[in-house]
A and B are shown apart, each in its own frame.
Chain A
Amino acid sequence: MEWFDSFWQVYSNLVLTVGINALLALSIWLTLSCGLLAMANAAFMGIGAYTAALLTMSLGAPFAVALAGGIAAPTVVALVIGGPTLRLSGVYLAMATLGFGEVVRVLILNAESLTGGALGLNGIPQLTQWWHVLLALVGTLLILWRMRRSRIGRAFEAIKEDAVAASLMGIGVMAHKMLAFALGAAIAGLAGALNAHLTFFIGPSEFGFDRGVDILTMAILGGTGGLTGPVLGALIITLLPELLRGFRDFRTMMNGAILVLIVLFLPKGLWDPQRVRQWLGPGRR
């Protein structure tokens, strides 16, 4: 186990980041599975991160309380902004939620006395253990997996395909959209809280537009047809820059090229349940 110890010493941060990114990808997958292109997940992550970090640093709250706060705060915010924004659809919803993300970033930037402004929060206690991340990821996957097989998951899918037809099946469209949005915010907040207590430092620039696009890319690249896709996407987006270290100056270029190629040739994402079924079971459709 000696090799493992040395591996873990170097790479534990990277492995845990994969887990946290997987949570983020799942949070946006949830809204996508309900047909919502909501881009507020980076902001929700930020709200969760700041809430949790402030709880441990300023109030000395136990880690469990900080995590709960990191989940609750973005959920409440999602419930408030969901009312007006979820009436929008398609790119209009994306624009509104991106705008909300900017508002959150600017607020964090200017609430200096509380958030430290542009300097961010330093010296957050490193309380996140590997099993915290594992537990959060496995728990989230379990809940989402069970939900997909219930009437709620079917309602999400029906809304994604045709919201009008779904409403005439007796499905409360707005309530289900709200549920997907709020639950997505809760997962993103949890990821933010875990991340804050892993990286020692958080700043407002971490939770801006770039992060939002990153999260979306993970889900789309992996494939939104199931739960495997977002996790796979998070794994690749997180590890690819590390694996390409050898390319030195060309690293980001290679990174981009690989992503473009995947999207070009596998438009449904890497993990497309139908294609995988074809590979595994020849003879079946």
Chain B
Amino acid sequence: MLKLTTVSKHFGGLSVLQDVSFEVPSGAVFGLIGPNGAGKTTVFNLITGLLAPSGGAIELGGRSLLGVKPHEITRLGLGRTFQDIRIFKEMTLLENVVVGMHAHLSYSVPGWLFSLPGFRSDERRARDRAHELLGWVGLAAKALALADNLSYGDQRKLELARALATQPKMLLLDEPVAGMNTGEKVELMSQIGGIAKRGFTILMIEHDMRFVMGLCERIAVLNFGRIIAEGTPEQIKKNPDVIEAYLGRDDDSAAA
């Protein structure tokens, strides 16, 4: 579904990504891991069009994403959450999610101006769907609360529901459990598992190894801007390059 081919990115003389290639098959849960500063979020920013790659190709379902604007990429079926949570704090949870449906509300100018039946039914459908999506992440009861009043973990879940509202074929999750406690993590893990079962393809960045190993079918490891390994969780756990990247060289790795 999503294919990166020898993607590179440099800011001036600083090379952040070099020859990054991986492919996320349709329906997969794919993990992108790596130490801090490896360039994982940059990969997401390139895919979603917030940054332009310096070289290489990015394709979604066979269509090149190079030069396509972020909002158009979203409309092609790519939803995303952020590492530094970016919900709309002054809106209610429900409004946050309804904003995500922007591109799928197609009523006309007279429609909203005179509150015609088409406008009203579209808006009602959007609200119903928003309630449903909030239910998926366990926030339905707080639909009318102000997003700013949510706990950190709930804000991440709201972001997930909002990304789902854009009707994506594929979800990019940037550290979905960062800052959550163990209980919240387990809960979100089962929710994301449930979302994957509904047929969404998922690509996630995550530091929490138990979370990644438990959810992902395939994992790519990024270190200093290069993919150093790709494979199943079992293969990744045993890969000496990965162990070295995370824990250091040779005798030190005995500590694992």
A73-116 vs B: 1/0 string, CB under 8 Å?
A: 00000000000000000000000000000000000000000000
B86-110 vs A: 1/0 string, CB under 8 Å?
A: 1111110001001111110101000
B152-183 vs A: 1/0 string, CB under 8 Å?
A: 00000000001001100000000000000000
Kindly provide the distance from the CB of B180 to the nearest chain A CB, expressed in whole angstroms: 20
Binds B, one of A157-165, A185-193, A237-245, A248-256: A157-165
Quick one: given A146-B113, A154-B98, are A172 and B71 in contact (CB under 8 Å)?
A: yes
Quick one: given A146-B115, A150-B112, A165-B86, are A171 and B48 in contact (CB under 8 Å)?
A: no
Number of chain B interface residues as a range: 20 to 34
Assembly CA distance A105 to B214 (angstroms): 66
The answer to whether A170 touches B75, judged by C-beta atoms less than 8 angstroms apart, is yes
- Asked if B131 lies at the interface with its beta carbon under 8 angstroms from chain A, I say no
Quick one: given A146-B112, A158-B88, A161-B91, are A170 and B82 in contact (CB under 8 Å)?
A: no
Chain A residues near B114 (CB, 8 Å)? 146
A28-43 vs B: 1/0 string, CB under 8 Å?
A: 0000000000000000
The answer to whether B86 touches A162, judged by C-beta atoms less than 8 angstroms apart, is yes
Kindly provide the distance from the CB of A160 to the nearest chain B CB, expressed in whole angstroms: 8
Chain A residues near B112 (CB, 8 Å)? 146-147, 149-152
The answer to whether B87 touches A165, judged by C-beta atoms less than 8 angstroms apart, is yes
Q: How many residues of A contact B (CB 8 A)?
A: 23
Chain B residues near A169 (CB, 8 Å)? 71, 74, 99-100, 102-103, 162, 165-166
Assembly CA distance A173 to B88 (angstroms): 15
Chain B residues near A149 (CB, 8 Å)? 112
- Asked if B119 lies at the interface with its beta carbon under 8 angstroms from chain A, I say yes
Quick one: given A146-B112, A170-B166, are A161 and B88 in contact (CB under 8 Å)?
A: yes
The answer to whether B86 touches A167, judged by C-beta atoms less than 8 angstroms apart, is no
Among the listed B69, B90, B113, B119, which residue makes an inter-chain contact with A167, where contact means beta carbons less than 8 Å apart?
A: B69
Residues of B whose CB lies within 8 Å of any CB of A are 48, 50, 69-71, 74-75, 79-80, 82, 86-91, 95, 98-103, 105, 107, 112-115, 119, 162, 165-166
